[in-house]
């Protein structure tokens, strides 16, 4: 372990964090979502694009929005349509990333809103062995209630639509923290989304915004890309720079046993 490191665990987002944001997967994803909305709801292309933007803003994702609005959409149906048809060949192998991940001495948790099939395909393209992570938090692990029989029973009974748990909701960050099993103040969270970073910061995580030269207000670090990890955050390895950059007030911050009292089980997805 890195004895002098201020971190006990590293939470890493996947999309546009472990691979660059300019692969073209993002625009392809938007097109797939628009086509899904057109097919599912029978709306025009323009209307579908506007709905996608609005559902993302108000519910965190189009899937979460559709479910909240009462549409019967199974997550697997949605993910196979919008993720399953992505141009994965545009993700290049990154041997340096594989080596850097391997060298991180702390517990490593992959923390993604994406479904497991997408995660596996993206990691395979990158040439990163899933086993390098000690744990994975993904769509399925954050939303087991959407896959069990109770879902169908609740639907049949005409109950409230189930909540979909995704970053940046509090429930999602809590799910990540529980799997991390560490003091939030000693947990480093890397993500390319400013709103995810803000949500993590609000719950006490140390935060690194990936894909940006300049830090957002809630980011403790900014990395232009994941390849800059060693240079920008050498503290992970407990090497020079750790002393002066570590936050000594962390020693007074709550420990794991206090986690439940500082995080409230609310959701901004509602
Ligand atoms: Mg991302």
Q: What is the pLDDT of residues 115-128, one digit of tens each?
A: 999 999 999 999 99
Ligand 1 (single-atom ion) residues, CB below 5 Å: 13, 15-17, 192
Q: Would you state the pLDDT for residue 261?
A: 43
**Is 243 a residue whose pLDDT tops 90?**
no
pLDDT band at 148 (very low <50, low <70, confident <90, very high): confident
DSSP string computed for 139-161: HHHH-GGGTSHHHHHHHHTT-PP
**Is 150 a residue whose pLDDT tops 90?**
no
Q: Which of 140-149, 225-234, 260-269 has the lowest mean pLDDT?
A: 260-269
Q: Would you state the pLDDT for residue 239?
A: 65
Cα distances (angstroms) measured from residue 75 to each of 61, 144, 146, 224: 12, 11, 7, 32
DSSP string computed for 172-197: HHHHHHHHHTS-GGGEEEEES-HHHH
Residues 184 and 206: their CA atoms lie apart, in Å, by 7
- On whether the CB atoms of residues 109 and 180 are closer than 8 A, the answer is yes
% pLDDT > 90, the chain: 79
Q: Which of 73-82, 94-103, 226-235, 236-245 has the lowest mean pLDDT?
A: 236-245
CB atoms within 10 A of CB 130: 12
Nearest CA to 207 out of 19, 20, 17 is that of 17
- On whether the CB atoms of residues 91 and 19 are closer than 8 A, the answer is yes
| Whole-model pTM over 0.75 | yes
Find the 114 Cα to ligand 1 centroid distance in Å. 9
**pLDDT digits over 162-205, tens only?**
899 999 999 999 999 999 999 999 999 999 999 999 999 999 99
pLDDT band at 1 (very low <50, low <70, confident <90, very high): low
- Average pLDDT of the residues in 76-88: 97
Find the 68 Cα to ligand 1 centroid distance in Å. 23
Find the 192 Cα to ligand 1 centroid distance in Å. 5
* Secondary-structure percent of the chain, ordered helix, strand, coil, rounded to 5: 50, 10, 40
Residues 198 and 205: their CA atoms lie apart, in Å, by 9
- Average pLDDT of the residues in 54-70: 94
């Amino acid at each position: 372990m890195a004895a002098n490191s201020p971190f006990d665990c590293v939470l890493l987002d996947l999309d546009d964090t472990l691979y660059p944001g300019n692969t073209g997967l993002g625009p392809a994803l938007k097109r797939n979502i628009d086509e899904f909305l057109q097919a599912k709801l029978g709306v025009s292309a323009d209307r579908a694009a506007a709905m996608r933007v609005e559902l993302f803003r108000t519910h965190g994702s189009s899937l979460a929005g559709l479910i909240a609005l009462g549409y019967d959409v199974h997550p697997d149906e949605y993910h196979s349509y919008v993720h399953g048809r992505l141009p994965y060949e545009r993700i290049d192998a990154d041997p340096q990333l594989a080596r850097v991940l391997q060298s991180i001495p702390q517990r490593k948790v992959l923390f993604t809103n994406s479904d497991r099939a997408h995660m596996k395909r993206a990691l395979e393209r990158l040439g990163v062995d899933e086993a390098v992570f000690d744990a994975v938090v993904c769509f399925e692990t954050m939303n087991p209630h959407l896959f069990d029989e109770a879902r169908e029973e609740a639907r049949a009974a005409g109950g409230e639509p189930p909540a979909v748990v995704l970053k940046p909701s509090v429930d999602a960050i809590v799910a990540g923290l529980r799997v991390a099993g560490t003091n939030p103040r000693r947990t480093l969270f890397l993500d390319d989304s400013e709103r995810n970073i803000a949500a993590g910061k609000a719950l006490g995580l140390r935060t690194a915004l990936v894909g940006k030269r300049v830090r957002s207000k809630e980011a403790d670090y900014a990395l232009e890309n994941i390849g800059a990890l060693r240079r920008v955050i050498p503290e992970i390895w407990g090497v020079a720079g750790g002393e002066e950059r570590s936050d000594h007030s962390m020693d007074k911050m709550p420990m794991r046993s206090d986690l439940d009292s500082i995080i409230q089980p609310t959701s901004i997805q509602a």
